[in-house]
Amino acid sequence: MSALLAAIERFYDAVPRQHADAEDHGPLTLFARRGDGWPYYARPTLGHPGPVSAEDVAAVRARQRELSVPEAFEWVLETTPGLDAAAEATGLHVRRCPLLVLSGEPVQVPLPADISLSIVTAEDPDLAAVQAVALVAFGALSTATGPAGPAERDATAAALPAGHAASWRASLVERTLVHAAARGRHGALTGPLCAGSYQHAEGVAEIVGVGTLPAARRQGLAAAVTAILARHALDAGHRTVFLSAQNDDVARVYERVGFERVATACIAEPPEQP
C-alpha cells in the first residue's frame, strides 16, 4: 500500500508542474498558475519528512491571497496525517473524500439503447456542450435527479468564455487530458449528457470531473463514462488509475466499475459564506 500511495504522491506533484510554477514553502509546495491558467492548490512537499504546522498553512494562505488565487490545499490523509488539524486550526474547512484505485479490469456498464459512449476529440462538434455538462452537473446542489438538462447545458455552452474553450481544446490537442462523453441520440435528452476526464503523469492516471446532467441521472451514465476512461488509461500504458469521490454514495458508483477504496483525499478551503 505504501508503494501505491507513493506513486500517487509523485503524480500529484508532477501534474501541476505542467502548467504552474512550484513555490517551495518548507513542508508545503504552492503551485502558482501561469497567466490565466488553472488556479492550482498547495500540497505537502514531495519527500518532506516533517509535520506541517498551522503556521506553515497560514504562511501559504497569505501567499495565495497575495497572488489572488484560491486558498486551497489538497493531500492524502494517510500520507500526511495531522495536516487536517493544522488546516482547521487556521479556519479552513476540510472535506474528507474516499480515494479509490482501480483493481483489475474496469467493469463495463450496460447503457440504454439510445445512449452512445465515446472518447472526445478536439474536432468534436459538441465540444462546448461537453464542457458545459460538468458546469451544469456540479452547479446542482445535490447528486439527485432534477430538471436541469440539455437546455441549461446549451445555454451554458453559449456563454463559455473564449479562453476557457480554447484552453480545453488545447488540452485535447496536447493530450494532457483525455475526455469522454455519453450522449443521447433520441427524444428530449439528446447530445452530451455525461462527461468526464483523466489527467496523467508518472504512469498514473486520475479520473476527474465526471458529471451527469440532473435530468439524465440514474441511468448508469457516470459509471459508464468512468469505465471507458479507465479502459483508455490502461490501454495507454498507465499502471495506476485512481479517483476521489465526493462522498460514500458517489464512491459506490465507482465501486461498480471495479474501484476500491484505499485512502482518504483531503481538500481544505475557506468555509462558504452564508
Write down the pTM of the prediction.
0.93
In the prediction, which pLDDT does 36 show?
A: 67
- Given a cut of 80, whether residue 214 has pLDDT beyond it is yes
For residue 51 the three cell numbers come to 509535520
Q: What is the mean pLDDT of residues 176-203?
A: 94
Q: What is the mean pLDDT of residues 97-120?
A: 95
* pLDDT range class, residue 162, cuts 50, 70, 90: confident
The least confident of 23-37, 157-171, 217-231 is 157-171
Strands of the sheet containing 177-184, edge to edge, are: 20-25, 28-33, 42-44, 73-76, 259-269, 93-102, 240-244, 204-212, 191-201, 177-184, 115-119
> In terms of DSSP bridges, do strands 20-25 and 28-33 run parallel, antiparallel, or are they unpaired?
antiparallel
Query: E strand or H helix at 209, and its extent?
Result: strand 204-212
* pLDDT range class, residue 273, cuts 50, 70, 90: low
In the prediction, which pLDDT does 31 show?
A: 97
Q: What is the mean pLDDT of residues 171-189?
A: 90
Q: Is 55 exposed, middle or buried (0-12, 13-18, 19+ CB in 10 A)?
A: exposed
Q: Look at the block and give the residue holding cell 506533484.
A: 13
* pLDDT range class, residue 154, cuts 50, 70, 90: very high
In the prediction, which pLDDT does 37 show?
A: 67
CA distances from 138 to 133, 153, 196 (A): 9, 12, 12
